[in-house]
Amino acid sequence: MKKVNALIAGSTGYIGLQLVKLLLKHKNVKIKFLCGNSSKGKNIYFYDKDLKNKKLPKIIKFKKNLLSKVDVIFTALPNGESQIISKLLLKNNVLIDLSADFRLNKAKDYLKWYKIKHRAKQNINNSIYALPEIKKNIIKNYNIISCPGCYPTSALLPLIPLLKKNLINSKNIIIDSKSGYSGGGRGIHKKYKNHNLYNSFSAYGVGFHRHNSEIQQELNIYSKKKVNFSFTPHLSPMFRGILSTIYIEINKNTNASKILNYLKYFYKNEKFVKIMKINNILSTNDVINTNYCNISVCKTKFHNKLIILSALDNLIKGGAGQAVQNLNIRYDFNKFNGLI
């Protein structure tokens, strides 16, 4: 059985820990190194008691020489840091990045939205925005694999097929998303120290959230017309999960049943995208701790308007699980390894 040695940089964050748990179940992966700065010298179970009795290495500081001892490097690091690692990669290394460092196709867009000058411009063209169900046929051609953000995943999975087929109006799309606070990372409690995260609901990044950039980029690629949308994210008083409510106008000679049936057809071979019955009311409770994205098409009082609900776990399907999907595609492993 083919096995790859893996290094996880940023292993103690919410997504990093989730990635460790998934890879522990993966038949084709050996976790060789866990890397961190402030956490170096500690055991990973210090950050998650569920890992107490697992055979895992102690956390060490990332160094260039580690790259010669591994095949795949997962980076769940602050924006900007994966760019540096990408310039150190050896020929046989595969980088699977969970930050935003290679999500945008233009360095100027990265600077605009993330306020950081891209330090590995030469690698942008060598990377792929890897939404597994959409890019599955070409992911294996790349050694720098960029995992989409959690909010964009919830919006792109239902919208890309419909825009590609020209079934919906490309203007006036509204994406209203609610996420558990784990989406903000471990620093969320300091950032929102004056908010009661456990009992309050709040909007943020209104009009200009960074994920606008990758949603726009990918929708424009697949639509035959310029796409206009509004995206507003919210923090909800739960730890994990995303529910996106997407308001669309359908084109002539289209109805809710046609929209639903096309989504079913498009994702008929994709186990991790579930198209539910029409008017099915979704809950994050149905998808947390799984790698599934559930999608529901709902009718409204207007014959030409529909509401699409999209639910997923931001730490798995919107993060670590998607990274494992991309690993399986890149190395031609069983696509369910580590995920079911």
Active site positions, annotated: 150
Give, in degrees to the nearest 5, the angle at Cα 81 between 79 and 85. Answer: 140
Count of other CB atoms within 10 angstroms of residue 326: 29
Distance (Å, whole) CA 11 – CA 20 = 7
Task: Indicate if the alpha-carbon torsion angle 78, 81, 85, 87 is positive or negative.
Answer: positive
**Do 177 and 158 meet the contact criterion of CB atoms below 8 Å apart?**
no
How far is the C-alpha of 276 from the C-alpha of 295, rounded, in Å?
A: 6
H or E element, residue 214: helix 211-222
Residue with the two structure tokens 């890309």: 160
What 3-state class would DSSP assign to 189?
helix
Element (H, E) at 31: strand 29-35
8 A C-beta contact, residue 74 and residue 6: yes
Question: How many other CB atoms sit within 10 Å of the CB of residue 76?
Answer: 28
Q: Is residue 219 within 8 Å of residue 227, measured between CB atoms?
A: yes
Q: Give the dihedral sign, CA 259/224/245/326.
A: positive
Facing residues of 30 across strands? 5
Reduced to 3 states, what is the DSSP secondary structure of residue 30?
strand
